[in-house]
Amino acid sequence: MENATFSPVSRVAICGGTHGNEMTGMYVVREMQRQEADQTGSVSITTVISNPRAVEVCRRYTERDLNRCFTKALLSSPITDSTPYEVRRAQEINALLGPKESQEAVDLLCDLHNTTANMGMCLIFYSLDWLTLHIYKYIQSNMTSAPVRALLMSSPKSEAYSLESVAIEVGPQPNGVLRADIFNMAKEAVDHTIEWLHKFNSGSTFEEGEVEAYTVVKSVDYPRDPTTNEITATIHPELQDNDFKLLQPGDPMFLSFSGETVKYEGEDLHPLFINECAYYEKKIAFHLAKKITVTLPSISVKKD
């Protein structure tokens, strides 16, 4: 593959507290603000607490999930008295860091999240972007404290409902809890990202190579009572905490409250976001993904 070149990445935003009860991002941002890390070498860093009201009450959101408010439609909708706080906030953030898909937008936006699922460190992408995938490759080869994986979401960038170029999702961590091991991992990933940007901006070439990624194919809901809609089973102990481990037909999937095992039927796929707290209301017990290999070209900064 031919070497791909990109403009320097001079403006990066690090966001935390997009969900007000996912503690790691909030504290990474606060620590970066305390250390006054707004300009390091060739990179200017903007740090943002995305949903301060939700952070204040330690809830995922106050009226609507902020991380679903960045669609074109919501970003351009007129603001009235009844507009939910998070829709307003999305427009503010878009003005501060965007506008989305314009020339004025920051070059890279990293949004820090936690999950209650046992996913270790997972970078979430919205498109096959060579630059961010190289960052992923760099983080993966430099971090040994936990597995680092890539998740590719399939909606086109303009319709992406969320904030980021890349989300850094770390788990497992309960809502409202700040674990030192998880914090240290996330901070390390952010530090490696900034390090990579310096190297890139100063002319390093990052060699071609292959990376593995997961792409979500479908989601599975909990078994529910048809009249009350209440869940009637929980993730089976053999599936619980086994994110990314291949799930095959016949494998235990759910354990009902009356003791029956519900087995998986379908093609061999990799489960993830297993038993994520916020997904009960979205009717998702876990996602299923297939593993793909992406070949990256070597990349370097465009020289004038």
Partner 1 sequence: MSSFNSIVSLEEARRVAIFGGTHGNEMSGVTLVNLWVKNGAEIQRKGVETKPFITNPKAVEKCARYVDTDLNRAFTPENLSAPQGDNQPYEVQRAQEINGIFGPKGSPDAYDVIFDLHNTTSNMGCTLILESSKDHFNLQMMNYIKKAIAPSSCLVLLNEHPLLKYSTSRSIAKHPVGLEVGPQPQGVLRSNIFEAMRVILKHALDFIELFNEGMEFPSCTVEVFRVLERIDYPRDANGNIIAMVHPNLQDCDWEPLNPGDPMFQTFDGKTIRFQGSGTVYPTFINEAAYYEKQQAFVTTRRESLVASSIRKV
Helices (H), 143-228: 180-201
Q: How many residues bind partner 1 (CB under 8 A)?
A: 33
Decide the pairing of beta strands 233-235 and 286-296.
unpaired
**With binding defined as CB under 8 A, does residue 30 bind partner 1?**
yes
Part in contact with partner 1 (CB under 8 A); list of ranges 2-10, 193-201, 234-242, 293-301: 234-242
**With binding defined as CB under 8 A, does residue 236 bind partner 1?**
yes
**With binding defined as CB under 8 A, does residue 179 bind partner 1?**
yes
**With binding defined as CB under 8 A, does residue 181 bind partner 1?**
yes
Of 183 and 206, nearer to partner 1 (C-beta) is 183
Give the contact letters, 237-276, x = binds to partner 1 (CB under 8 A), - = no: x--x--------------x-x-----------------x-
Of 19 and 137, nearer to partner 1 (C-beta) is 19
85, with CB counted inside 10 A (0-12, 13-18, 19+), is middle
Shortest spacing between CB 174 and partner 1, in angstroms: 3
Residue 291 near residue 212 (C-beta atoms within 8 A):
yes
Q: Is 236 annotated as a binding residue?
A: no
Q: Which of 92, 169, 210, 267 is catalytic?
A: 169
Shortest spacing between CB 118 and partner 1, in angstroms: 11
Q: Is 188 a catalytic residue?
A: no
Give the contact letters, 141-160, x = binds to partner 1 (CB under 8 A), - = no: --------------------
**With binding defined as CB under 8 A, does residue 14 bind partner 1?**
no
**With binding defined as CB under 8 A, does residue 18 bind partner 1?**
no
**With binding defined as CB under 8 A, does residue 116 bind partner 1?**
yes
Residues 204-223 touching partner 1, rule: CB under 8 A, are none
Of 22 and 86, nearer to partner 1 (C-beta) is 22
Of 44 and 234, nearer to partner 1 (C-beta) is 234
Residue from 41, 205, 246, 280 in contact with partner 1 (CB under 8 A): 280
**With binding defined as CB under 8 A, does residue 178 bind partner 1?**
yes
291, with CB counted inside 10 A (0-12, 13-18, 19+), is middle
Q: Is 134 annotated as a binding residue?
A: no
**With binding defined as CB under 8 A, does residue 63 bind partner 1?**
no
In the 3-class helix/strand/coil scheme, how is the chain assigned residue by residue? Answer: CCCEEECCCCEEEEEECCCCCCHHHHHHHHHHHHCCCCEECCEEEEEEECCHHHHHHCCCCCCCCHHHCCCHHHHCCCCCCCCCHHHHHHHHHHHHHCCCCCCCCCCEEEEEEECCCCCEEEEEECCCCHHHHHHHHHHHHHCCCCCEEEEECCCCHHHCCCCCCEEEEEECCCCCCCCHHHHHHHHHHHHHHHHHHHHHHCCCCECCEEEEEEEEEEEECCCECCCCCCECEEECCCCCCCCCCCECCCCEEEEECCCCEEECCCCCEEEECCCCHHHCCCCCCEEEEEEEEEEECCEEECCC
Q: Is 22 annotated as a binding residue?
A: yes
DSSP labels, 86-99: HHHHHHHHHHHH-S
Interacting residues toward partner 1 by CB under 8 A? 27, 30-31, 34-35, 59, 116, 172-181, 183-184, 187, 230-231, 234-237, 240, 255, 257, 275, 277-278, 280
Residues noted as catalytic? 169
Binding residues for Zn(2+): 19, 22, 113
